[in-house]
């Protein structure tokens, strides 16, 4: 997706703020899958698509209020089912009630986004595209809170909970590349960029075996294409920066989009350089139309 297309999407949202605009409508307008576009928007802008639309609606609603429109009229214009629901959302966003905005003319602004190209050093991204057969991730899984920087304590606790029996079973069934202990993430909820939501995290191995002990959780993954991003540096900062760049730089300029499947990575700590590691990030993708 190019810069012009992103700005076109923003204009489409602006034209439909007072309509019953669904998130899937936005993705459909630009010709992307809902899953791919919402993730792309999230990593480029730093906020979920639904949050952007909500704040833009409240911002233009604020303008209507100070121009003399009634709270009831504005509430229903921007899709709220009740004045009370609109008032709660408006106060949470602006710090004041809609009636106060009407009375005082106070304006809280959330500007429309505009995308542009910002070249910062021209760093290359190494990526390898591979086709993989269907496989199962076998390991231990848990719902954990989202965290985009630093060490996630919940994932550390999950790793520490793995028993010797489970480790032995992982080693027994592991039979396809990458033959590493991987960290897979999937089923993130709607709040995943605000670090308020959860996702399922699994620590395990890739296998095509079907006879897997019940001591392990299992996640089936269909055959698909994978984009692999190797990275080296301080852990976990280097890997987290690479993950951000895959969404903000590589995906918008590539001929690929994300599909609904787990994302996973593995890490090999550097025995000679403390705190440094080699990692690979595996993203499930498909070619765009």
Query: What pLDDT does residue 116 have?
Result: 58
- With beta carbons less than 8 A apart as the criterion, state whether 80 and 90 touch: no
pLDDT of residue 77: 95
Phi, psi (rounded to 5 degrees) for 207: -150, 155
Domain 128-287, CATH homologous superfamily name and number: Regulatory factor, effector binding domain (3.20.80.10)
CA neighbours closer than 13 Å in the CB half-sphere of residue 245: 19
Concatenated DSSP letters of 11-23: HHHHHTTTS---H
SS3 150: coil
Q: What is the pLDDT of residue 239?
A: 87
Give me the pLDDT at residue 3, please. Answer: 66
Cα(7)–Cα(13) distance, integer angstroms = 10
Other CB atoms within a 10 A radius of the CB of residue 223 amount to 9
Q: How many CB atoms lie within 10 A of CB 225?
A: 15
- Contact indicator for 262, 221 with CB cutoff of 8 Å: yes
Can you tell me the distance from the alpha carbon of 115 to that of 107, in angstroms, rounded to the nearest whole number? 24
Burial label for 82, CB within 10 Å (0-12, 13-18, 19+), is: exposed
- Selection from 88, 91, 53, 57 nearest residue 74 by Cα: 57
DSSP 6-73: HHHHHHHHHHTTTS---HHHHHHHHT--HHHHHHHHHHHHSS-HHHHHHHHHHHHHHHHHHTT--HHH
CATH number for the domain running over 3-104:
1.10.10.60
DSSP E strand stretches across the chain: 128-132, 135-145, 182-186, 198-207, 217-221, 224-234, 256-258, 263-269, 276-287
Interatomic CA distance for residues 143 and 161, integer angstroms: 14
What is residue 36's predicted lDDT score, i.e. its pLDDT? 73
Give the pLDDT score at 5. 79
| Cα atoms in the Cβ-side hemisphere of radius 13 Å centred on 35 | 14
Per-residue pLDDT of the chain in tens (289 residues, 90 and over written 9)? 566 778 888 999 999 999 888 888 888 888 877 777 887 787 777 788 888 999 999 999 999 998 999 999 999 999 999 999 999 999 999 999 999 999 988 888 888 887 654 444 445 678 899 999 999 999 999 988 766 555 677 888 999 999 999 999 999 999 999 999 999 998 876 544 444 577 899 999 999 999 999 999 999 999 999 999 999 988 888 888 888 888 777 887 788 888 889 999 999 988 888 889 999 999 999 988 6
Taking the C-alpha atoms of residue 158 and residue 151, their distance in angstroms, rounded to an integer, is: 13
- For CATH 3.20.80.10, the residue range(s) in the chain are 128-287
Q: What local confidence, expressed as pLDDT, does residue 274 receive?
A: 85
pTM for the whole structure: 0.62
User: So what's the pLDDT on residue 151?
Assistant: 64
Question: Phi then psi for 141, rounded to 5 degrees?
Answer: -125, 160
Q: According to CATH, where is 1.10.10.60 located in the chain? A: 3-104
């Amino acid at each position: 997706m190019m810069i012009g297309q992103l700005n076109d999407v923003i204009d489409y949202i602006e034209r439909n703020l007072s309509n019953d605009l669904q998130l899937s409508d936005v993705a459909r307008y630009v010709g992307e899958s809902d899953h791919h576009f919402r993730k792309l928007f999230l990593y480029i802008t730093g906020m979920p698509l639904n949050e952007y639309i909500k704040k833009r609606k409240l911002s233009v609603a604020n303008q209507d209020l100070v121009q003399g429109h009634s709270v009831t009229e504005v509430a229903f214009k921007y899709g709220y089912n009740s004045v009370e629901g609109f008032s709660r959302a408006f106060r949470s966003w602006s710090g004041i009630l809609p009636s106060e905005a009407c009375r005082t003319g106070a304006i809280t602004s959330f500007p429309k986004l505009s995308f542009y190209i910002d070249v910062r050093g021209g760093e290359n991204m190494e990526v390898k595209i591979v086709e993989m057969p269907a496989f199962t991730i076998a390991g231990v899984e848990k719902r954990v809170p989202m965290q985009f920087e630093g060490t996630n304590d919940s994932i550390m606790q999950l790793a520490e909970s793995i028993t010797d029996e489970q480790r032995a079973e992982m080693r027994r069934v592991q039979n396809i590349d990458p033959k590493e202990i991987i960290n897979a993430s999937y089923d993130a909820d709607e709040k995943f960029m605000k670090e308020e939501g959860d996702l399922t995290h699994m620590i395990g191995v890739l296998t095509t075996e079907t006879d897997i002990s019940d001591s392990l959780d299992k996640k089936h993954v269909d055959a698909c294409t994978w984009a692999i991003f190797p990275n080296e540096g301080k852990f976990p900062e280097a890997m987290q920066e690479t993950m951000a760049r895959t969404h903000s730089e590589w995906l918008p300029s590539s001929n690929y989009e994300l599909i609904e499947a787990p994302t996973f990575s593995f890490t090999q700590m550097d025995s000679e350089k403390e705190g440094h590691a080699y990692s690979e990030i595996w993203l499930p993708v498909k070619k765009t139309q």
